[in-house]
Every structure is written in structure tokens, then in C-alpha cells.
Amino acid sequence: MDYQNIPRQSLGFFPTPLVELTNLSRKLDGPRLFMKRDDNTGLALGGNKTRKLEFILGDALAQCADTIVTAGAQQSNHCRQTAAACASLGLECHLVLGGEKPGILNGNLLLDKIFGCHIHWAGENRKGEDIPEIVEQLKQEGKTPYVVPYGGSNELGALAFVKALQELEHQRQESQVSFTHIIFASSSGGTQAGLMLGKKIMGTSYQIVGVSIDKGEKDNVAFDQSILSLANRTATLIDVNHEFSDEDLILNTDYVGEGYGVIGALENEAISLTAQTEGILLDPVYTGRAMGGLIDMIRLGKFKQSDRILFWHTGGAPALFAYANTLDF
């Protein structure tokens, strides 16, 4: 495996901390729990996209782009981190956000504005359907646009999570702990594809378990198949000879509830329990749902008491403020 020649632009502070959640584990009377704190990546209130953007914007700079275009939901953490990264690199940033402009800017959207990016409201089109038109317009204005894919989930974004797993392996060996499972929120699939490839490369034994956040499919491809395809394309990029298939993938779809961003009792309890036992903030859309799934699985007895579970905190807490009216503690 070789990715040293692939351009990368430093944007965050790594390694992120690895901590044990002793209070939460005791409260649940469950197995030992650990957390990888990617909510502390250091870029604009943190999150998993900082890792992906290091490779993706590294590529954009190598291609002499001067303008970045990406898309997401109104409260997209990916868009907020992209806007911050662009500000720090002197790149013009265009965000194509789903929905209509709200009366009050809050959460991630407020931060997008503070970072000075251009926002295009796309109504129903929250997955970047309007991007080609915007790119054409920017070219006509003499700019050199570069499109960052939805959620930062292409081969470069996934590669960042191969590197992230190597980072975790160093920490794990230093602190002499071992894990049986790594659990995290999975949405556009780059995090999961990268962790799966990292596991294959390093020959680790823990299970990589994505908790699906969104009911949807992308470009008419079922989510599980798009993760496998991305893992395979990323393997090809770095000359790893492995063909991923269904048995390599663990994607839990039990917790999508009423759909993307619809917050219920599961997310509310996970957010308050984690905050009140560990002093750690989760977000309503991703990590709250994934932690809610983990708590439920522990209560259902899906793990052995001797298991050691790592929850990969992928960030997102700025959205808490935007969801203040639907959170209920």
C-alpha cells in the first residue's frame, strides 16, 4: 500500500484523543467502551470530514483549483468544515444546500456564513443535483472550480480513513488495549469504506460496524453496494489487491427511524446519557443516532460482557443548536 505520493493538505490536529468511557459503560452495566474523539479534529469545531478534506483539498490545490463547490443538507457538517478549510486556504467556497433559506441562521449554517462562503439554496435537491449548472457558471466567470463529492466520500475521502485506522492502531498498541468492535455513524459511506480497507490492510480482527443514518440510496445504487464499490475503488487507488464483497460489510439499518434528521427518543437519550455521564456532546443527526443504536444493542444483549467496543465520534455537535426545538431532555 502506498499513499505517500498522494497530495495532502494539513487541516487538523492529529492524532485525535482515544478515551475510555468508564461512566457510560458502568451506567449501562455493559462491556468496556472507548471513544475516538474526531469531534476534536481542530477544524471549525471538528468532525470526521476534516480528515477527508485533507486529501480532497490537497488534490484540489494540486490541480490549481481556486474555487470549491460541494453540497449537503442545510445542517451539513461536511459543508461547514469545507467552508472553514477553504477560508484557511484562500479558496472561494460554494455550498449547495438542500431546502430553503431559513429566517434565522443557526448551527452549522450560521458557521457557514461566518466563514464567508456562497450559499445556493437547492430545495429538494440536497445531494448536489444542481452542481453541474453552478460549475458551468463559475467557469464562465473565469474560475477554476473543483467539486468535492457529497459527504467527501470518494476514494480520497475514504483513503483518509485508512490513515485514520493506522492512527488508531498506533494509539491502541501504545495504550495496550484491544477492541472487538468499532461502531460509528455511516451516511455517505467514505468513513466506512476507509475503515474496512484499513482493517484489511492491517489485518486487525475487530468488526467494523456502520450504523446507517439515512434510508436513501445514491444514484440509484443501494447504500451497502455503494460502500463496497468505494472500498474497491480505494483499494485500487493504493494498489491493494482485495475485492470487497457482502461478507466484508456490516451495516446496521435498524436505527434509521423516521429518516434523515428526524430526531426521536433514541437520539435524545443517547445525547443526554453521554453528556451526563461523560461530559461529551453528541449531535442529533449522526452520532446521537449511532450511539443510540449502540446503547440499544448493549441492552438487547448483542455484545458479550468481555467485548471492548470503540465508538468513533465523528463530530457534528454544532447542529445541536439548530435542533433545539426537537430535542427533549
Which of 47, 149, 198, 284 lies at the binding interface for ligand PLP (CB under 6 A)?
Answer: 47
Radius of gyration of the chain (CA): 19
Report, in Å, the least distance between residue 241 CB and ligand PLP.
Answer: 24
d(CA 323, CA 329) in angstroms, rounded, equals 12
φ/ψ (deg, to 5) at 236: -65, -40
Piece of 1-9, 89-97, 110-118, 314-322 that binds ligand PLP (CB under 6 A):
314-322
Among 149, 190, 261, 318, binds ligand PLP (CB under 6 A): 190
Stretch that binds ligand PLP, among 60-68, 126-134, 183-191, 300-308 (CB under 6 A): 183-191
Stretch touching ligand PLP by CB under 6 A, among 23-31, 187-195, 297-305, 321-329: 187-195
Q: Which of 25, 76, 153, 212 is catalytic?
A: 76
In angstroms, the CA 292 to CA 75 distance is 20
* Residue 77 lies near ligand PLP (rule: CB under 6 A): yes
Nearer to ligand PLP, 138 or 311 (CB): 311
Contact call for residues 303 and 179 (beta carbons, < 8 A)? no
Task: Report the alpha-carbon distance of residue 67 to residue 91 in Å, rounded.
Answer: 5
Query: Which residue stretch of 11-19, 91-99, 180-188, 259-267 sits at the interface with ligand PLP (rule: CB under 6 A)?
Result: 180-188
Nearest CA-CA partner of 96 in 64, 133, 59: 133
The answer to whether residue 76 is catalytic is yes
DSSP sequence for 186-246 = ESSSHHHHHHHHHHHHHT--SEEEEEE-----BTTB-HHHHHHHHHHHHHHHTT------G
* CA nearest to 39, candidates 98, 10, 80: 80
Helix (H) or strand (E) holding 95: strand 92-97
Any contact of residue 316 with ligand PLP (CB under 6 A)? yes
287-306 mask for ligand PLP (x: CB under 6 A)? x-------------------
Residues between 135 and 164 with contacts to ligand PLP, criterion CB under 6 A:
151, 153
Please identify every residue annotated as catalytic: 76
Residues that bind ligand PLP (CB under 6 A): 47-48, 77-78, 151, 153, 185-192, 283, 286-287, 314-316
